[in-house]
Amino acid sequence: MTKRILIITTNFSEINKDIHTGVWLEEFAVPYLTFVATGYEVVVASPKGGDSPIDENSLSCSNPMEWDDAAKYLKDTKVLSDIDYKSFDVLYIPGGHGPMFDLAVDDTVKEVVEYFYNNNKIISSVCHGPAALLSAKDKNGNSILKDRCVTAFSNKEENIVKMTEFVPFLLEDKLKESGANYIAQKPWSEHVEISNNIITGQNQNSALAVAEKVIFFLS
């Protein structure tokens, strides 16, 4: 049977009147296109459904044209609560700063993540996407991140992009507080951590590597 991948994206777009955010296009488009090219069925959902805004800073005339095709699927996402998430083999959550504001605190996202974790299905995420894993618990009530080796956007990278004062928390700090063994390489490195069924990537440059690891474990 065809493997099915559920991608959960953010609906959050405005930090303040001057700072807009959303999903980082590369972190969505590269895995999406890679999964589709491999022959997987991919469904894109968000907490509210409809538009999943793209962070304007991730748009560039140098982006490959096929990213524009993938971006169309962010315009009309499914409502997450309407999805039969138990029928999927993999969960993938891209970053951008948006997930820090909505996916990190959404009850349905928490429910989905917990199901995938407790049923030993692949959970994959990149950059700020792992914020969506912070509230999830295992069957014993512990954080699913406890004692897991994970990576995500680092405090150094957050400082470089001058967003430290605008995010609700620093993701590196929160992951450590959850009991995770947070591991990072130098800023903008391609870096992936795998711990049981959790696959995480440090930043947008790690998106393809995360997708490739997912494919490896599904094959």
Summarize pLDDT for 57-101 with one digit per residue, the tens.
999 989 999 999 999 999 999 999 999 999 999 999 999 999 999
Cβ distance 23 to 101 under 8 Å?
A: no
Q: What is the pLDDT of residue 217?
A: 96
Whether 1 shows a pLDDT value over 90: the answer reads: no
The token pair that represents 69 in the structure block:
């095709």
Q: How far is CA 55 from CA 2, 23, 181, in A?
A: 31, 6, 29
Residues near 80 by Cβ (< 8 Å), separated by ≥ 6? 8, 45, 46, 47, 49, 106, 108, 109, 112
* Residues 76-111: b if buried by 16+ CB within 10 A, e if exposed: ebbebeebebeebbbbbbbbbbbbbbbbbbbebbbe
CATH topology of domain 4-218: Rossmann fold (3.40.50)
Q: What is the tens place of the pLDDT at every residue in 72-81?
A: 999 999 999 9
CA 190, CA 97: separation in Å to the nearest integer?
19
Q: What is the pLDDT of residue 212?
A: 98
Flag whether the pTM goes above 0.95.
Answer: yes
